[in-house]
Chains A and B, each alone.
Chain A
């Protein structure tokens, strides 16, 4: 297989919120493994992840997913794991039920869902909280549950938007261990972050600040 077939390739990508451009003529390729997308708040990191996931539609350019596919509903159900900055869990369903729902949409059978649920809950230290609803969990526990939920389908594309933002070091280390050692094979993992703690992970890096000259004046102000 051509290495580019296993990558996400963004070509001349553009996106704007109303009249405000967020991305203009952005091109990049993301290979399997961990890539940290870094940049200041508002620089377009989250937008890039949402464009790759198919949750937003680019105003220009194109995104080629591994195998040349497009970010359609089937891709979202089966191949994509996404951790949002906020609200990742259905509030009225237990952690286990949240995972089961995602597994069911991914087309996994009941046995496989149960096996993977146990695996990722254990890896993230959530076994004791599996039957609790998200409202009774702390922020860190919720974030770990969200990561477990996204990983349950062992996605080929795993996108995390500020996964450690606001988390203490202990929770952060649990997530880092998972990202460093337990990603599915050949998974393209993009982490949008400005958390310097994640720099300890072996990774490729994309500095987003260079795409946003408007914000450069903040450096001199800081």
Chain B
């Protein structure tokens, strides 16, 4: 072990001495690796931010939610509501609410939209309703505390109501406006002139495209031509495409970067080995194992790559906001506290190719070390 430590110490001294002797070779390697790492990290950050932006849009829309809107006019030939038409399945949740054209107001004078719920929506609403005291009707007003008992006037009739905590899906139904939720038994009378129905279909089975296709087919068969479907399929496809592009770009850039590093580092390592091969042979003649001598070049190449990557990361982290801000990305996306495209696992994911290139650059030296000592030393 002591021999290994002494040899390692000597080899480190050798590396240091070479750096001092030929600073040009050192700087060339650092500069090229810095530029490559910088470009790779910049490209990766751009793709990650694009992906993040798309993910935000998908999340806002509801990544696993299909929205169907339909306006139905009153009359004898009116069609059944979407809530009764849409498929019920173990891995599908449904929330369908019909907006009635009737005036409602709470005791504080706040105008409320009237949403009528059918029994088919009860499973989706159950957690919300179970958390509130029992009442005939429920208001959802973000400005009032959840559980508050209040009086509501709907179409001139007075009802006792309880305010509910606003669910995330409320935005879909009333653009965040306060609503009053009434059961079908009460609300049916206000739907005679027609309604505007919004149905949310939550996919829990992980096969959104198939569910969307089934709903489209069903609506076509039922001749519900006025129903509009909003599905995040296109965005999800776009996200998938972006991820593929990202993967290909990462791999491509990594391969190119790795090759450049392997060529440059390899050439310099070979030149240095030629100047130094007598010393390497002398060490081998003393019994130093060849892998230890290869390790000298590996340590040097990896150390230089690591320094270059660190410097590139530092530089990009400093320039992140001004650089991507100019591209019009929203401030929340650029907040590195919330999402850091230069987090170490991401940096490693991209720059491991440089490390691989640095290791490949050792092959010529490793091959040269197979030459018998006796052919080198005189």
Contacts and interface: CB of A to CB of B under 8 A. Distances in A.
Interface of A: 46-47, 50-51, 53, 55-57, 73, 76-77, 82, 84-93, 97, 100-102, 104-106, 110
17 contacts: A46-B378, A50-B373, A53-B285, A53-B374, A55-B373, A73-B289, A77-B287, A84-B282, A84-B378, A92-B10, A93-B10, A93-B13, A97-B6, A102-B286, A104-B3, A105-B286, A105-B288
B17 A56 contact: no
Contacts of B6: 97, 100-101, 104
B267 to A, nearest CB: 24
Contacts of B373: 50, 55
A73 B285 CA distance: 9
A46 B378 CA distance: 8
Interface string B338-378: 00000000000000000000000000000000001111011
B132 to A, nearest CB: 80
Nearest to B12: A92
A148 to B, nearest CB: 14
Given A73-B289, A101-B10, A90 B372 contact: no
Contact of B378 (A56, A85, A97): A85
Contacts of B374: 47, 50-51, 53, 55-56
Contacts of A84: 282, 285, 377-378
Contacts of B378: 46, 84-87
Contacts of A102: 286
Which 7 pairs of residues, A with B, have the shortest CB-CB distance?
A: A55-B374, A77-B287, A50-B374, A56-B374, A104-B3, A105-B287, A55-B373
Given A76-B285, A101-B286, A104-B3, A92 B278 contact: no
Contacts of A55: 285, 372-374, 377
A104 B373 CA distance: 20
Chain B contact surface mostly:
helix
Contacts, number: 67
B349 to A, nearest CB: 38
A97 B13 CA distance: 13
Contacts of B2: 104, 110
A83 B204 CA distance: 79
Given A55-B372, A76-B286, A90-B283, 15 more contacts: A53-B374, A84-B285, A84-B377, A84-B378, A87-B378, A88-B282, A91-B279, A92-B17, A97-B6, A101-B6, A101-B7, A102-B286, A104-B3, A105-B287, A106-B287
B289 A82 contact: no
B238 interface: no
B279 A90 contact: yes
A97 B3 CA distance: 11
Nearest to A93: B10
Q: Which of B285, B286, B288 lies at the interface centre, i.e. has the most chain A CB atoms within 10 A of its CB?
A: B286
A50 B375 CA distance: 9
B372 to A, nearest CB: 5
A150 to B, nearest CB: 10
B282 A90 contact: yes
Interface string B257-289: 000000000000000000000110011011111
**Which of B17, B285, B378 has its CB near the most chain A CB atoms (within 10 A)?**
B285
A85 B282 CA distance: 12
B335 interface: no
B14 interface: yes
Nearest to A86: B378
A175 B14 CA distance: 30
A87 B278 contact: yes
Contacts of A90: 10, 279, 282-283
B181 to A, nearest CB: 83
B14 A73 contact: no
Contacts of A105: 3, 286-288
B377 A101 contact: no
Contact of B372 (A56, A76, A77, A97): A56
A105 B8 CA distance: 13
Contacts of B288: 105
Contacts of B375: 56
Contacts of B3: 101, 104-105
